[in-house]
Structures are given as structure tokens and as C-alpha cells.
Chain A
Amino acid sequence: MTIDTKFDQSTVAMTVGTKRSAGRSTFKHALLIAVGLVMLYPLIWMLGASFKDSEHIFSEVSPIPNPFILDNYVRGWNGAGVGFGTFMINSTIVALFSVLGNLVACTLAAYAFARMQFRGRKIFFACMMGMLMLPHHVLLIPQYVLFANLGWVNTFLPLVVPKFLAVDAFFVFLMVQFLRGIPTELDQAAKIDGAGPWKTFFYVILPLLKPALATSAIFTFIWTWNDFLTPMIYLQDPRNYTVPLGLNSFLDASGDSAWGAMFAMAVISLGPLFGFFLVGQKYLVQGIATTGLKG
């Protein structure tokens, strides 16, 4: 299932040189740009609408705001009882700890699978692959019962602690795939030099794992940032809400009346995702190509 991920190698163009192909390639570009515009138009339009007053939101197809107002951002940021800033901070805390947890736990688990011999390794690996298929919802209720009994409801713990226990099989799988590509001769060389498993891990494997770590970190961040169901179940106090919950409660409170402020906050909530996308798209593309992760 591993696929070569050297995307940016230019392929051997099959249709170089002839005049007909030049025309065809222009046509293709036009088509691709048109499709791209149609796809991105709603997002561009939302960005524009977040600077419009509500009358113009509902009467203009053009994304350019005229007059240009910042009022939506001001109202949205302070709206919904608790400020949107609180939601942003909450989401950031949850996302950062989740990234940390996934990186530490999944790397260790993957290292154990890929490099160590222990009893039942094959069975455990099969179990983990099975988990890729297991719907999250099967675990939702028992985990809720467990965390409720621990008194963790309305804290961030149920969102973060599982990540430290290597439960995201996707990332374990990604790392195992990646580790298999690292020659075992390196490990053996380290062993001859007198390094134990931990030392080998920290000084030999970890530096080589950087691309896989980056992919996992970015995906974990994006998924946690977008996650709606889990926080909705565990967080009841609006002061603990993450961004998606904040947005949704805003929608509930204002109904369909305050679209401008809604859009403004939606734009802000997508901001970090765009940021990570721009910085890390190389790793994202590699990640989905090797494991088929859904973004």
C-alpha cells in the first residue's frame, strides 16, 4: 500500500512539442482554473461576506464588500456570552496537548511494532489495523461512562488523555510504514556501537522520522481543531467550549439573524487551519498518499 511520494518530479510529458498539445494544455488549464474557482468560490465569498452588513450578505453574489465594515468581527468576538477569545484559547490548549500526546505515544508504539520482538506482536498489530475500521461511536459511550466515573466531564482531560495512550491507530500505522523504510542496518550499527534500544531510538530513529512526525502533528492538530462531537459530549460549561462548539452555540443563540458575525468567527476559526495548510502541505500530501488518511 506504500506509494511513491515523489510528486514534484516532473513526469515525462507525453504530449510535448506539437501544436495541438499546446492548445489542449491551455484548454486544460482553463478547465482546471474554472473548477478550482467554483470550488473555492464559497470560501472566498464567505471571507468577503464577513466584512459586509447583513443586508448586503443576502443580496450580493460578488465577494467584494462595499461598504467594508469590521463590525461583524467586533460583535462576533464578544458575542455568545463568553468571548470567542476563550474558545480560541481552549481549542489551542486541547490541540497542542493532543499533538504532543499523539507524537510521543504513537511514535513509541510504532517503534515497538516495527523494530522490537515481543510476544503477541502480530496479534497486537492485527488488532491495531482492525481499529482503523472501528467506528469511533462504538467507543463513545463506554468511554463516556468511564470518564464520567472519573469525574472528568467538563474538563479537557477526556479529549487529551487518550492521545497519550496511542489510540490513534492511523498515526501508529503511518509511523510503522515510515519506519519500515528506514534500513535496519542503521539500528545494527548503533547496537554495535553499544547503544541500547532507547538510545537507538533517540539518536538514530527519531531524527529520521521527522517527516512522519510533521505529518502526524499537522493532521492531529487539524482533526482536533475541527472535532465537534467529542467536545460536545464532554464540555458543558460554555467557558470550556472549543471553537466548533462556540460557533455552534452562536448559531443556536442568534439563529439565522447574525450571519455577518457568524461568518466573521467562521473565518477566524479556519485561520489556523489555513496557516498549517500553507506551512505543512508537503507533509500533508505525503501523509495521505502513504496511508490514505482523510483530511
Chain B
Amino acid sequence: MIGFFVITLGPMLYSLYLSFTDFSMLAAPEWVGFDNYIKLFTNDPKYLDAVRVTLVYVLVSVPLQLAFALAVAMVLNRGLRGLSLYRSVYYLPSLIGASVAVAVLWRQMFGSNGLINQILDWFGIEGMSWIGNPETALGTLVILNVWTFGSPMVIFLAALRQVPQYLYEAAAVDGISRWGSFRHITLPMLSPIVLFNLILQMIGAFQAFTPAFVVSGGTGGPVNSTLFYTLYLYQRGFTGFQMGYASAMAWILFVVIALVTAVNFWFSKYWVHYDD
């Protein structure tokens, strides 16, 4: 509990205070009111780039990742032999996806002489530097996130076990197609878990940092195309030492994550089915 106050609550409030100041660590924080927040939205195009990049990343990679996770979990669920082996293999990338080592690998794979282009070469397709091109650089990071679909998949698998078999048997007796039983039994029964995974993965994706940092060499380039929110926050706070400005960014991120979670919950009453 002491830890909670010393390490979390105290710093949280201090950070809120700092977000209204101009603070460089060298002199005492200087109160500037809402200036940091105003500047972020009106006078910092790079910040708006970071917001856009992060939103695209979250909104594209998370649904894709969950769709993959659910599809593979459905295939794995039907009493297949070797389930635990498959589960391990698919889960492995989740474990190492955030490491520098994998980001380094990605940088080579999607570089101009990388593995992807060598494979494309077989099909006579002229490759390019996927990481060096502002149009595709973010895409490589989306692929990296989709690649780590293993952890939501494990959660889906656990949840699929909970769906009572008799529902499917009843559906089969009634002559309902496989797609129909997926649509009308599996999805509704699974919807709380879909919501749970959705929230969890979105929170995670908003805070992604390492892949963008390593792949772009810390710049967020080319042309800010991989400038994740947290990467820009790092640049402002720890290379530019604009601690007040960075704190304001951190608080906006916190509020956005809280809002997104709340919106998810609010919308969930239209599509999430609870048993009782």
C-alpha cells in the first residue's frame, strides 16, 4: 500500500501538476496553465502526426489480430490432436514480439535487401524498402502486431471450452449450418471474451514503443510514418527534456485509453451477451 502511494498515486498527481508547467529538470517547474495542452493541438503538427499514426495502428492491427486469434482458436478447438503443440507454436511470437531482437529481425526482413524481397523476387516482383517507404512502414509494424495473435488466441481457446456442447448438438439436430452455429451460438457466447480481448489489446497497442523505436532507429521516420505516440513522448521528454510537455502528452494518452475503454463497455451492451 505504501508502494501504491509512493510509486503510483503520488507520481500520478505530480505528473498532472507537471503537465501544467514548463519543466526541464534544470530549474523548478514554472506554471504555464493550459499552454502545453493548447500547443499540442494547435501548434505542433508532429504531435498530430503521432496521434494519427497511433490511431491507425490501433484500429487496424487490433481487429486483424483478434480476427486471426479467433479463427485459429476455432480451428484448434475441435478436439484436434497435437493441440498443445500448436498452441505453443502460435503463442511463442506473443512472448518475444516486444523484444528488440525481433524488431531487429523485422528491420532486416522488410529492408531493401531483406528476406521479404528475396521471396518476392521468386515471383518476379520487384521489391522495395518497406521500412524506408512512408506508405508501407507502418504496415510492417501492423504485421508485427498481428503476428503476436497467440495470447488472445489462448484466451479464446479457454473460453471456447466453456460453450456448452448441447447447444451445438441442438443446432445440428435443427439442421443449422456450421456458419449459422458460429454466428448464433459461438459468437454470442464468446462476446464477453471478445470484448475483454479487445480492450486489453487496444490498451497494449496504444502503448507500443519498442518496435517503432528500433525499426525507425528512434526517429519515427520515414516522414513520421512510424511516430508512435509513446515514441514522440519519449523524444519530447527524454531527448528534449521538455518534461512538462511530455507529462501533458502522457495525461492525454491516459484519458484517451480510459475513454476508449469506457466507449467499448458502453457499446458492448449492444453486442455482448451475458448468460444470466
Q: How many residues of B contact A (CB 8 A)?
A: 97
B48 CB, min distance to chain A CBs, angstroms: 18
Evaluate whether A135 and B25 lie within 8 angstroms (CB atoms) in the complex, with A233-B238, A244-B99 already known.
Answer: no
A29 in contact with B99 (CB, 8 Å): no
Assess whether B79 is in contact with A10, with CB atoms less than 8 Å apart.
Answer: yes
Contact, CB under 8 Å: A270 / B79: no
List residues of A (41-67) whose CB comes within 8 Å of B's CBs.
42-43, 45-46, 57-61
Q: Which residues of B contact A (CB under 8 A)?
A: 1-4, 6-12, 14-15, 18, 25, 72, 75-80, 82-84, 86-102, 104-105, 107-109, 111, 113-115, 118-119, 122, 147-148, 150-151, 154-155, 157-159, 161-162, 165, 168, 193, 196-197, 200-201, 203-204, 206-207, 209-210, 213-214, 217, 230, 233-234, 237-238, 243, 246-247, 249-251, 253-254, 257-258, 261
**A residues less than 8 Å from B11 (CB atoms):** 138-139, 142-143, 146
CB distance from A58 to the nearest CB of B (A): 5
**Residues on A facing B (Cβ under 8 Å):** 1, 3-16, 25, 28-29, 31-32, 35-36, 39-40, 42-43, 45-46, 57-61, 105, 109, 112, 124, 127-128, 131, 133-146, 148, 162, 164-167, 222, 225-226, 228-229, 233, 243-244, 247-248, 251-252, 256, 259, 262-263, 265-267, 269-270, 273, 277, 281, 284-285, 288-289, 292-295
| Interchain Cβ contacts under 8 Å between A and B, 6 examples | A60-B118, A137-B233, A229-B230, A244-B99, A252-B217, A270-B101
User: Which of A31, A42, A138, A256 is in CB contact (< 8 Å) with B12?
Assistant: A138
Residue among B4, B78, B159, B258 making CB contact with A15, cutoff 8 Å: B78
B111 touches A131 (CB 8 A): no
Q: Are A165 and B12 in contact (CB under 8 A)?
A: no
Residues of chain B within 8 A (CB-CB) of A167 are 3-4, 7-8
Q: A1-B196, A134-B12, A284-B91 are in contact. List 11 more A-B contacts (CB 8 A).
A: A13-B78, A14-B79, A135-B250, A145-B243, A148-B25, A228-B99, A263-B105, A269-B99, A281-B88, A285-B91, A292-B200
Q: Chain B contacts of A248 at CB under 8 A?
A: 100, 213-214
Partner of A162 from the list B3, B197, B217 (CB cut-off 8 Å) is: B3
A244 to B94, CA, bound (A): 17
